[in-house]
Amino acid sequence: MIEKLVRKVVLGLKPYQAGKPISQLKRERKISQVIKLASNENPLPPSERVIKVLKDSLTKVNLYPDSNGYYLRNGLAKKLKLKRGNIILGNGSSEIIAMALETFVNPAEEIIIADPSFIIYKGLIKLRDAVPVLIPLKDFSLDLSAMLKAINKRTKMIILCNPNNPTGTIIKKEELKKFMKKVPENVIILSDEAYLEYVEDKEFSSAFPYLKSKKPLIITRTFAKSASLAGLRIGYGIAKGEIIEQMNKVRPPFNTSSLAQVAALAALNDKEHLEKTRKNNREEKRYLYQNLKNLRLSYIPTQTNFICFDLKRNAKLLCRRLEEEGVIIRNMSAFNLPNSFARVTIGTHQENMLFIKKLKKVLIKK
């Protein structure tokens, strides 16, 4: 049996369950109109600027991409006022996280993470034969005090999802300041900032200001969300040059495609598209808040492009019923939240109106 050849740790893992694709639901249910609000994607298409550079680059896909991503890294460094050596590119920011673990974490070492948080952390940690130390959220937010208390001689890394997925909550400036002071200098801090561009709260703090500190810090970001490039899989990591140098040793060759690189570079300073994205998210978030209130459903106030809310009944069942109506959202059973919780991505106004209409319908259905 093949199981005898598989690493023991792999046998205990479960494949990542992404939000169901639109095409899959259409096949399964024979439904023509389907909307997907399950994977925190930007409901707006990429900008015309991005589409043009993609079209112009199509005839060159017979060639390998620039393995080092010189121009994109240069553009990022210029925008962030850093050096190119402070940037590493990844096939999505999730690959940056995987490379960080591959580079620095030894078997049996501990990595402290919030619970619930981005679901891939646990699997990536276990794949390194390391130990995930789960710290429950406090009021749906990361409990930094409890994370600090969990540090011991086996601790190698702390992963902060900020804003946090799936709750949409943030770490505030004073919290992060106190936390950064207390983390020992032999513990790596990885700040996953995939939803950074959606944050409205002025009290939010990125880990970026701490790059100059003595603490070993890695920040991961992505073009998947606000830049509308989820399908191209392109993210980046920011860190001191000595950290990036080591991570490059485990980075697969040609890990980001030529199309992803040119699209991300075009999107990098596209302020118009970013403002359209933020405006849609800001306005539609309030629309969904009001309608969830009208349905007497509680929700967690969010600083992201998704809302985690309580259906007050079996979310798995209701999500299945919504799929029968052509609407895909995400139940939170895999995230260690109560089985009544679901997460909906903030879509366009038309998508959100349809979601609320179908939600009302399935809530009435016995």
| Chain centroid, CA 35 distance in Å | 20
CA 141, 146, 148: angle at the middle one, nearest 5?
Answer: 115
The pLDDT of residue 119? 93
Structural domains of the chain, ranges and CATH numbers in brackets: 2-45+272-364 (3.90.1150.10), 58-269 (3.40.640.10)
pLDDT, tens only, 5-38: 888 888 888 887 777 777 787 777 777 788 999 9
Which residues touch 325 (CB under 8 Å, ≥6 apart)? 358, 361, 362
pLDDT, tens only, 246-276: 999 999 999 999 999 999 999 999 999 999 9
Rounded CA separation 148/150 (Å): 5
On the question of pLDDT at 366 being above 70, the answer is: no
The pLDDT of residue 243? 98
Rounded CA separation 142/208 (Å): 18
Average pLDDT for 61-87: 97
CB 32: neighbour CB atoms within 10 A?
7
Flag the least confident range among 12-16, 196-200, 203-207.
12-16
Average pLDDT for 148-161: 98
Q: What is the DSSP string of 156-212?
A: EEEEEESS-TTT----BHHHHHHHHHHS-TTSEEEEE-TTGGG---TTB--SGGGTT
On the question of pLDDT at 130 being above 90, the answer is: yes
Average pLDDT for 286-308: 98
Q: What is the DSSP string of 249-262?
A: TTSPTT-S-HHHHH
